[in-house]
Amino acid sequence: MNDSESDPAPIGAADAGASAMAQLVELTPKQILGATSTEPTEDGWLVEIEVLEDHRIPSSADMLALYEVEIDQDGNLLAYRRTRRYARGSADIAGRGMR
């Protein structure tokens, strides 16, 4: 058997996003709104996920958050952290250079 038959190919960006969201929902009771970015890393993927932190009425007053989720090349969770919390609809003036 050659290497291509014994080692599965690493996951792609779409699967990385789906895997990160599925694992984050197991760790936090918050509602996942979606992946906002996927970025390959040396060990796998860094996925940024938007989460509904606090539902308010009206919904324009909701508090949202961005989480960074690190997964390996097989889709296993390595780490996660909240990087930003903000009101729904607020402008992203500072950009995303938060790392």
Instruction: Write down the residue that tokens 């500072």 correspond to.
Output: 94
Q: pLDDT tier at 4 (50, 70, 90 boundaries)?
A: very low
Sign (positive or negative) of CA dihedral 30, 35, 40, 44: positive
User: Who contacts 6 (Cβ-Cβ below 8 Å, separation ≥6)?
Assistant: none
Query: Of the candidates 76, 68, 66, which has an alpha carbon nearest to the alpha carbon of residue 43?
Result: 76
Output the average pLDDT for the chain: 85
Q: Give the pLDDT band of residue 9 (cuts 50, 70, 90).
A: low
Give the model's confidence band at 92: pLDDT under 50 very low, under 70 low, under 90 confident, else very high: low
Residues 6+ apart with CB under 8 A from 87: 61, 62, 63, 64
**For the chain, which domains are there?**
3-87 (3.30.505)
